[in-house]
Amino acid sequence: MFHAYVLYSPSLDKYYIGSCGEDLDGRLRRHLSGHKGFTGRAKDWQFVHVEKFGSKAGATARERQIKGWKSRKMLEKLIQPSD
């Protein structure tokens, strides 16, 4: 199982889009660790959206699609729970 996900940092008011394999908790721990990448700037990242895929290619394709939107409005529409 593979995942495409969206993280949100309240302190930065920023989103991060990524993909990973089975271990979502481990991936979040790595984002929260002290590194020099984009997510290393904050310690309050949280999952706000996760999609499951049967292949790595499917998850990375969805990650690229969402990143390609370049639109916070569209991203927030994706995240909002449907009524």
Q: What is the mean pLDDT of the chain?
A: 95
The structural domain count of the chain equals: 1
The count of other CB atoms within 10 Å of the CB of residue 38 is 13
* Cα–Cα distance measured from residue 37 to residue 23, given in angstroms and rounded to the nearest whole number: 20
> What integer is the mean pLDDT of 20-43?
93
Q: Give the residue among 36, 44, 49 at the shortest CA–CA distance from 12.
A: 44
Contact 72, 26 (CB under 8 A): no
The pLDDT of residue 81 is: 74
The pLDDT of residue 83 is: 60
pLDDT tens-digit series, residues 59-69:
999 999 999 99
Residues spanned by the domain of 55: 2-79
We report the CATH number of the domain holding residue 15 as: 3.40.1440.10
